[in-house]
Structures are given as C-alpha cells and as structure tokens.
Amino acid sequence: MRIALLAALLLALPLGAQARAGEGDPAGTGAVPRQGEALKAFDWDQFFPKGDEWRKTPQVFAWNNDTEPETLDPAVMTGVTEHNIAMALFEGLTTLHPATMEPIPGVAEWWEISPDGLVYTFHLRANAKWSNGDPVTAEDFRWSWDRALTPATECQYAEMFFPIRGAERLYAERVAGKAADFATTGVEVVDPRTLRITLHTASPYFLEICAFETLMPVHRATVEKHGKEWTQPGKLVGNGPFALDVWKPRDRIEVVPNPHWWNRRIVRLERMLIGAIDDQSTSFNKYLEGAVDWIRSIGASKVEEAQAHPDYYVSPYLGSYFFRFNVTRKPFDDVRVRKAFTQAVDKKAICETVLKAGQQPATGVVSPGIPGYPELQGLPYDPKRARELLAEAGFPEGRGFPEVELLYNTSESHKQVCEQLVEMWRTTLGVKITLHNVEWKVYLEDTRKLNYQVVRGAWIADYRDPSTFLDMWCTDRGNNNTGWSNAKYDALLVAATKELDPEKRFKILAEAERLLCVEELPILPLYYYVNQGMLRPRVKGWHENVRDLHPCQFIWLDGPAAGK
C-alpha cells in the first residue's frame, strides 16, 4: 500500500517491473531453505554467469526513479521510490531475492524459527560492517527499532513492527506520552551477533518484513551526531552494498560501492545514478535519448508507443485498483445496489480501452502472484443481472435512483477510468452518476471521513501475503474507509492468524475474500496492476518481479551504451 506517493502526484499508472529472461538468471530459484544453518551456504555466485566479457563495459548505471525521495532515513520512508534507494544504502536482517522476492540472508547469516512460528533467532555475520568500518551488531538493530518506534522519528510505517510482541502496545503508550521501555517488547539482544525476536502471532511473512525499509538499521553515532542532517552526503553511514556520494535534490542521487560491505565482491557496478524526473514524457524521452538505461514507469498515453519498442517490459504487480462504496449511506447500504453496480461494469473493456498495458480485470481484491494463493473468481460482467438486481432494490430502469457522485483524485488516467465507469452505469442501469474530482489531500480527507458515495481506491502489497490486502477490511481498521463491518469476516481473519498450516491458512483467507468480493461487496474490484517500464538489454541481473523492487547489488552492465 505504498501508493501514497505515486497516486499523489499526477502520475497515474503503477510502476513497472518483472523478469527478463536471459543471462544472470538464478539457477534453480526457490531453493532457498526457510531456516537453519544451511542458509550459511547460500550460493551468491548463482546470480552471475561465468566470464569476463562484462568488464569491457564501464559500469555506470543510470536510471530514473520517478520522483524525488522524501527522505533517505529508512525508518521514515514510505514509498517504493525510497525503498529502491534504501536497498542500495542499507541492508536488513534479510534481503530479497531479485527474481522471486523470497527472503534470503542479509545481515543475518542464518536464522532459526521455533516450531510454533513465534520465535525467530537471527545469527548476524561477523563481517557485516557499516560504511565507516564499524561492525553491525544486534544492538544496532535494537537501537534502530527503538528509535523507529519513538513518535518523534515520524515513522509512518510503524505498523510493520506490530507482529513483534509488545511493539504495538509500546508504540501506543509512547504516542500517548508515557515513557515505555523497549525492553518490554519481544526484541532481545542475546549477544552482539545474536538477535532473538518473539512475535505475538505466527506471521509467516515476518522474514519478508525483515527486509523491509522500516526495519533496516541506522548508524547510531551518526544519527546522534548530526540529528536531522545525518542523511546528507559525507555524513550518511549505511550498511548496504552502496554508499551515498552525491545528492542533488530533484535532480539525481549518485551512489558508489561501499568498500566495507561484507559481500563487496558481488557488486560489479562502479556507480549508479538515480534520477528524479517526475514528468513521464520527459522520462520516456530521456530513455529514448539513451541518457538512462531503465525507467520504472510509462505514462498512460505513451503505452502504445512504448509497446512497439523492443525494450518495453510489462509484468504483474502486487496491487489492486478498486472502488469503495460508502455502505453507511443510501443507496449503497443495499447490497443489491452494490452488486448491480459491480456487475454492470465491463472491466475487460476498461482494461483494454483506457489502461491498455495488459492489466487484468479483477473480481477479487488479492492480486494474483502470491505463491500458493488462488485467484478469486468473483462476480462476472452481467448487465442483465445487474438490471434485475437494481430493479429488485426498487429502481427499475434506474427510475427514482438518487443523485450519486463518484469521487476520485485528480489524474488523467483515473479520470478516464471513472468516465468509462459512469458511462457504463448510465447505459446499462440507466442511472446518472456525476463525477467529482478533488486533489489528493482533499480526496484522502473525504475518503477517511466517509464523505463520499463511491470513491476510487487502490492498494499495493507490502509483502507477498493475502493478508496485506485483506486485513484492512476488518471492522474499524484505519484503511477500511467504507463503513463496512462484518463479524464473520473479522472472525475469519483472526482464525487465519492462528492457523500454522499455510495451506489451511490460505483457505481461510480465500473464504474471507469471497465474503468480501462476492457476497458483501463494500468494494468494486476493477483491475490488478502491472509493472511496466523500459529496460536496456545490456542491463543484466535485473529481474521482473511482483513487487517492483530491484536490489542493485545484483545488477551489472554488459554492452555499449545506447546512442553512442
């Protein structure tokens, strides 16, 4: 759900990313052990083919990151833009496999998980170092997490810590102004190289969360010495594969390999230039010019042109786009009206006419791409049934239907989607819906205060698990924003947290999704996001993946620059 930044700006489509076949494809993916000392033997060489051919290419990789990062402090970050930079400058206990997004060893060399799935013991590498040569210890993590859970740090992703026992309570107390000791949480420094973490419910996705930006460590001495300014070049000390060299706000960030990184030998790039061009046409032009080798997104109106270019890529992305109904107000308090509105929408047509990049029509809210979780087959497009439902609800042919407004935040592609929707409702159901666009901040406020009837919404996954899409619809959750509440749904999600068997757990979650998207419909799922962008073939070790995250220690260049 890191949509915030993206959608906030005038950009519309999701960011891109996924697997390009070719050299550097890890052999035998999915072979990462889930736990145990076997992890020590993790084969880093699998990411590289043999040969020295690449050495002939100057290893300077320039790409556009779409916008200026709001901060370089990992605890404060919220967006995909920042996450991509954080992965270069910092490293968590685990890190992500570039193709599959599975957690693989990071600062932690290996780990153990207790049979009940509650206790994680991480064994840190002896040679993990900060970019100034200091060792990275378990205490660094404890201090960084303590800092992140201090309200003054402005960590907006504190929720990521909440699987840890006591973290949620600690944070609430601190916000309320009470002094609360971090030692009361489930984080325990056993010795400088061992960190034991106790969760309050078994969260199978916790290892993935450990690779998340919010849980990355920061260098205590640096932060304490420089305060807010610690992220400036020359001051920033990180523990990631790269070190910050230049930061020209709104222009670019340049990073160079961190000589103290424990796995320095696998980093082939000599320099990486991360651009902050926010205009999508300009970004596209920069790519065509040859000035950058990768752009992470394509403007809606450039899609067709991009598709005719050999370097275009598109792949599924863990995100879904939907519309919320305000179930506390007429006429959408009636589930038949919600169903009628849902079944009257030809989602395929919208995907093909407006979006055009191969977005898949959605009938559920959990985006496909989570291993082992089946895609929900929800309500189909059925205009006849929609008319019947609306008639049953007391509005035959749309007669007597109250005035309804569709709210969306200002953006050309949202506008086109909404225009299509309104047109379909008008022709199929005979109801007149007016469009209302407001700018981002007003949109957020209206959504939150249920000051709408139908509103656009979207959600991007934080980790590969259905709960990232489903938790939010529980009664009174901060991101529910529909007024919808269902005891059975809440009970199903609680049951899922207690289920240790992954298969059964997914079954429970799938049942919850069915309840949400087939029976109750507080939301109208529209489509699943895709990643799309342009990548030069000479960029190797870069993989398309469902989270659009690209650990750049695995990337290198092979071949001459474009246009030269």
Partner 1 sequence: MGRYVLRRLLWTPLVLLVLVTLTFTLIRAAPGNPFSRERALAPEVEKALNEKYGFDKPPPVQFARYLGGVARGDFGPSIKYKDRTVRQILAGGLPKTVLLGCVATVLALAVGLLAGVVGAVRQNSVFDYASMSVATFGMSVPTFVTGPVLVLLFALAWKLLPVSGLDVAFTWAPALGVVALHAAWRVVEFSRVGRAGFSWGREAACAWLGMLAVAVAAVTTILVRTPALVLPAVTLALPFASRIARLMRAGMLEVIGQDYVRTARAKGLSETVVVVRHALKGGILPVVSYLGPAVAGILTGSLVVERIFAIPGIGREFVEAALSRDYFLVLGIVVLDGCLLIAFNLVVDVVYGFLDPRIRYD
Partner 2 sequence: MTTDVPEPAPAGVTEREAELLAETARGEGPWAQAWKRLRRHRMAMGGLVVVVVMGLTAVLAPWIVPFDPRTSERWETALRPGATHLDLCNEIVLQKGEPRPSDVPECVRDALAGGARHRYEVDVAVQTVATLRVTMEGAKVQQIGEGGKRHAKVELGPHDTLVVKEGGARLATDVLEAGGTLPPGMPRKDGRWVLLLEWTRREAGAVRRVACALEGGAIRSVTVDGKEAEGEVRVRAEDVQDARLDGVSRVHSHLLGTDLAGRDLLSRVIYGGRISLLVGLVATLVSLSIGVVYGAVAGYVGGRTDVVMMRVVDILYALPYIFLVIVLLTVFERSLLMLFVALGMVQWLTPGRIVRGQILSLKQREYVEAARTVGTRPVKTLFRHLIPNTLGIVVVFTTLTVPAVVMEESFLSFIGLTVMYDGEPLDSWGALVENGRNALGTDGDRWWLLVAPAAAMSVTLFSLNFLGDGLRDALDPRQKGRG
Q: How many CB atoms lie within 10 A of CB 424?
A: 21
Count of other CB atoms within 10 angstroms of residue 434: 9
If one asks whether residue 232 binds partner 1 (CB under 8 A), the answer comes out as yes
Rounded-to-integer distance, Cα 548 and Cα 84, Å: 9
- Binding flag, residue 225, partner 1 (CB under 8 A): no
Of 55, 225, 248, 498, the one binding partner 1 (CB under 8 A) is 248
Q: How many CB atoms lie within 10 A of CB 462?
A: 21
115 CB burial (10 A radius; 0-12, 13-18, 19+): exposed
Contact region with partner 1 (CB under 8 A), list: 124-132, 247-255, 323-331, 504-512: 247-255
Kindly state whether residue 70 participates in binding partner 1, applying the rule CB under 8 A.
yes
DSSP assignment of 239-307: -SSEEEEEEETTTEEEEEE-TT-TTGGG---SEEEEE----HHHHHHHHHHTS-SEES---GGGHHHHH
Query: Is 150 or 258 the residue whose CB approaches partner 1 more closely?
Result: 150
- Binds 326, which of partner 1, partner 2, none (CB < 5 to 8 A, cut-off by type)? none
Shortest Cβ 408–partner 2 spacing (Å): 10
Single-letter code of the amino acid located at 178: K
270: contact with partner 2 by CB under 8 A: no
Give CA–CA dist 277/284, Å, rounded: 10
**Token output for 479:** 């991101």
Pick the piece of the chain touching partner 1 (CB under 8 A) from 90-98, 329-337, 478-486, 521-529: 478-486
Q: Please pick, from the candidates 27, 33, 156, 475, the single residue that binds partner 1 as defined by CB under 8 A.
A: 156
| Cα 107 versus chain centre, distance | 22
Asked if 288 is part of the footprint of partner 2 (rule: CB under 8 A), the reply reads yes
Please identify which residue in 427, 488, 500, 504 interacts with partner 2, judged by CB under 8 A: 427
- Choosing from 301, 479, 485, 486, the residue that interacts with partner 2 (CB under 8 A) is 301
563 binds partner 2 (CB under 8 A): no
* Residue 412 is a binding residue for partner 2 (CB under 8 A): yes
Nearest alpha-carbon partner for 53 in 540, 520, 388: 540
45 vs 403, which CB is nearer to partner 2?
403
500 Cβ contact list (under 8 Å, min separation 6): 116, 117, 202
What is the nearest approach in angstroms of partner 2 to the Cβ of residue 483? 24
Token pair for 147? 């800092």
In 3-state terms, what secondary structure has residue 556? strand
* β 194-198/187-191 pair status: antiparallel
Q: Which is nearer to partner 1, 126 or 172 (CB)?
A: 172
Among 76, 86, 195, 376, binds partner 1 (CB under 8 A): 76
Residue count of the chain, please give it. Answer: 564
- Residue 493 binding partner per list partner 2, partner 1, none, with a CB distance cut-off of 5 to 8 Å that depends on partner kind: none
Three-class HEC string of 97-150: CCCCCCEEECCEEEEEECCCCCEEEEEECCCCECCCCCECCHHHHHHHHHHHCC
Q: Is 175 among the residues that bind partner 1 (CB under 8 A)?
A: yes
Q: Does 533 bind partner 2 (CB under 8 A)?
A: no
Is 448 a binding residue for partner 1 by CB under 8 A? The answer is yes
Point out which residues pair with 320 in neighbouring strands. 459, 528
Q: Which of 357, 365, 510, 539 binds partner 2 (CB under 8 A)?
A: 357
Among 3, 4, 10, 335, binds partner 2 (CB under 8 A): 10
Count CB neighbours of 143 within 10 A.
Answer: 19
Centre a 10 Å sphere on the Cβ of residue 446 and count the other Cβ atoms it contains: 17
Instruction: Write out the H or E segment, with its range, that includes residue 325.
Output: strand 312-325
42 versus 312: smaller Cβ distance to partner 2: 312
In the set 289, 304, 333, 405, which binds partner 1 (CB under 8 A)? 289
Applying CB under 8 A, which of residues 436, 495, 497, 511 lies at the interface with partner 2? 436
312 near partner 2, rule: CB under 8 A: yes
CB of 23 to partner 2, least distance (A): 13
Query: Which segment (154-162, 210-218, 248-256, 422-430) binds partner 2 by CB under 8 A?
Result: 422-430
Q: Does 126 bind partner 1 (CB under 8 A)?
A: no
- Cβ 114 vs Cβ 202: under 8 Å: no
Contacts with partner 2 by CB under 8 A lie at: 10, 21, 280-281, 284-285, 288, 299-302, 304-305, 307-312, 314-316, 346, 349, 351-354, 357-360, 383, 410-412, 415-416, 419-420, 423, 426-427, 430, 434-439, 441-442, 530, 537
Contacts with partner 1 by CB under 8 A lie at: 1-5, 7-9, 68, 70-73, 76, 78, 151-152, 154, 156-159, 172, 175-176, 228-229, 231-232, 248-251, 275-279, 281-282, 285-286, 288-289, 291, 439-442, 444-445, 448, 458, 477-479, 481, 563
